[in-house]
Chain A
Amino acid sequence: MSESLLDTAARPVTAARAGGLLRRHWAWLAALAIALALPWLLFDWTRARHSGFGVAMLSQMGMMIIFALSYNMQMGHAGLLSFGHAVFFGLGGYCTAHLLNTIKAGGFWLPVELVPLVGGLGGLAFAIVFGYVATKQRATAFAMITLGIGELVTSCALMFKSFFGGESGVSTNRVVGTSLFGLNYGPSIQVYYLIIAWTVIALALMRLLTETPLGRMANACRDNFERAQFVGYDPRMVRFFQFALSGFFAGIAGGLYALTYEIVTFDTVAGGMSANALLMTYIGGVGTFAGPVVGAILIVLLQSWVSLLSNSWLVYVGVLFILMVTFAPGGIAGLVLMHQPISRRGRMGRLAVPYARLVGPSLFVVVGFVLLIELCSFLTIGASQGKTFTLAGATIHPKSAVPWAIGALLLGGGGLWLWREGRRARSAWDAVMEEIKAAAARP
């Protein structure tokens, strides 16, 4: 865990400390400011309206951030690999949709701002029920139980119409007229700001949770559950509470989903959504708190934006995932945090040149790889879809040998070059680390 987490042990809150708080968490605040401002960057000034697609994608990111962070509560903090986390996301969504319909019909009053809370409570309830069963085991057995539960719930969602609405799901309307701030939540930008508010709240709560005894014991059980038992805690109960709370936050994300899309269907509980959570968390980085946030943003970008440009986006996700698992199991955030000791001692400059030299060959490798994959894809699938492969205005014909040769050259040549530069960067890294160790060893 990073130093900043350890810093927040019991020290009285003073004005100076409050200022320190601001300075320490400036990165989060900056991210918040960017999030608030982004829709205006994408504003369509010619038609005087927000970019519907942009706001929708940003809303999706907000939801997925909460979802990925809740998944990390299990995977990163408690060491529980789950294949059925989407169950709580979806069930929270269904509860919220039913609640909104009840509010609209006049049976209940609750301001729209608090509606995701009910989604969270729904997720919590189901997480308690399923978690009681699942957390009896750990590691692979736990993973398999969650897989089984996920499959069962998905099938039930298709079969039972009264709660799940069958195939067409449960639809709802978020314009129900109950609001603490007098907003009607018709325009999607208002929903976006609500999502931001809930993301901040959920994020803060989950962060606080990591510093509670429960959070710490979850880490302990992850690292060595036998020793945790000797300390006196029952790992099973620790797992259970952590699982239930993670279901709560997943349910909040589900509630926000119901508000944004105004329809909840069975795919919100299905295996694909659970796989999404896994991908986002792992690619972003399991060992850090910020990792899943990065992962969520990246995966939503890949899924919503790259998929518009290419049908092979799944290959890119798969390859990225495999590269992460093999070479960077700490994820993107892990990669960045590896540099923490170096940056703290002000020696980042030493790595600047080796890293800069990596950019060129990496670009070649990426472009070559993408080119080859796209050529393959166009040869069999894409070409018949009537699309022509255009890059910067020039049409590329998959049947001619030239683009293949270029792609192979880029990939092969770039790969070799990357290998050499990688070795050089590696030795630079090792040198810097040696220096740091030597400096630390000196009195």
Chain B
Amino acid sequence: MVAVAILAALLAFRAAIAADECESKSEDCVAVGHWNFSIALGGGIRTDPLGDSASIPLVVIPQVSYYGKRFFLDDLDVGFTLGELGENTFSLIASPGYDRVYFYRGDLQNFFVNGIPAGANGAQSGSAIGPQRQAAVRSTRTPRVTYLAGPEWTFAHGGFSAEVDFLHELTDQNEGNEIRAAIGAPLLESHGLLSFNTGITWNSAAIVNYYYGAANGYRGGSALDPFIKLGYSIPLGGRWRFNSFAEYERLARAVEGSPIVNQNHVTTVFAGFVYGF
């Protein structure tokens, strides 16, 4: 299946494969061997699908990345680029399981907010865990840090981008599978960029139950969560730019049906200023 998908992606974008080599720093290109730091300062919230705490505040969001010739670090993701073909990049990546952030405020993903929750998760500094959920959490298996790894295909050209990840849990916690797939396209592009993203996160039943299975017998199946996002970004001069987005994710029945989940969606909004060091 993975091979077929990769082959399909190759054929689909063969026409777009031109001599698009990176020769200078741009929106799509980055210098090899250098660290990149940025920090977003602003205001935003992510709703808590468990419904037993206030929305999760988003105020300070750091980002860090490093690109070697093939190795790269992108916040908490690490990867090895197998090859580039035009604007297509094929990599092997390892990425943390996002859902743990809901159960541990000290999880690093509560600081590096870069993913779309597969279910009930997100940055939640300052949020409180209600008694009802505490009981539910205690009754479930304690989630630990998990990492998933697998092949990734990304495509980027101008404002267009696409991504497909096939991931398998490698840290011997649930041995589940996850698929992340999304596309992005510009809606309006002048000095600033208004973009539209949409995609899905698919989690196998093993992952869903690892986080949301309950001692009372609830066992969910696999979960397919679609999302849409509108984003606007505009450079402000120097190293500053303004960034804002609004995102809505619909939770699958397998997640929504868990006794510790009380909402069927996660909404995230943020507006702030990003400074690149």
- Decide whether A and B are members of one complex: no
Q: Which A positions have Cβ atoms within 8 angstroms of B? A: none
Binding site for A on B (CB under 8 A): none
